[in-house]
Amino acid sequence: MPSVRQTSTNEELETSKEELQSVNEELHTVNTELNSKIDVLDRANTDLRNLFESTQIATVLLDGDLIIRSFTPAVTTIFNLISADRSRPLTDIVSHFETGDLRRDIRTVLERGQTMERSVVPSDKSAQYLIASCLIAVGIM
């Protein structure tokens, strides 16, 4: 016959086991929800990557310190960008045209929140481009 102490210990162990099972179920539920959110983010990221790679619009996304976050392949006709240039300042990259004071233009856009447009001509005078610098909202879902 079990002693009172053994019975108490067994009850405590049973209670602990039930609590752990409950926590495990909660963790499983949270994990399932997180996996679902990851799937949604993966699809959105794939869609955005496909859009970037298929568009003919030269686009560079910068952070507040003018660090390159991402860019479309079309921008390589204007700037000498390669994949490894992500996380580098845009102002460190050589362009195929006279950019004027690109840093000042971008800072003005960041401060005023208004689009700034400027025409530029490449050094070989083969075309004319319109640079439109604009602010977009970026956040965490």
- The per-residue pLDDT for range 19-52, each reduced to its tens digit, is 999 999 999 999 999 999 999 999 999 998 899 8
Judge whether residue 115 has pLDDT over 70.
yes
What's the predicted TM-score (pTM) here? Answer: 0.66
Domain range list for the chain: 1-54, 60-133
Greater confidence (135 vs 84) lies with 84
Q: Where are the beta strands (DSSP E) in 18-128?
A: 60-62, 68-71, 116-120
* CA-based torsion, 79, 80, 83, 84: positive or negative: negative
Q: Which of 136, 141, 140 has its CA nearest to residue 62?
A: 136
- CA dist list (Å): 138 to 34, 41, 51, 52: 21, 15, 17, 16
What pLDDT was estimated at residue 125?
81
Strand duo 116-120 + 129-133: pairing: antiparallel
Q: What pLDDT score does 30 carry? A: 97
Residue 41, pLDDT score: 96
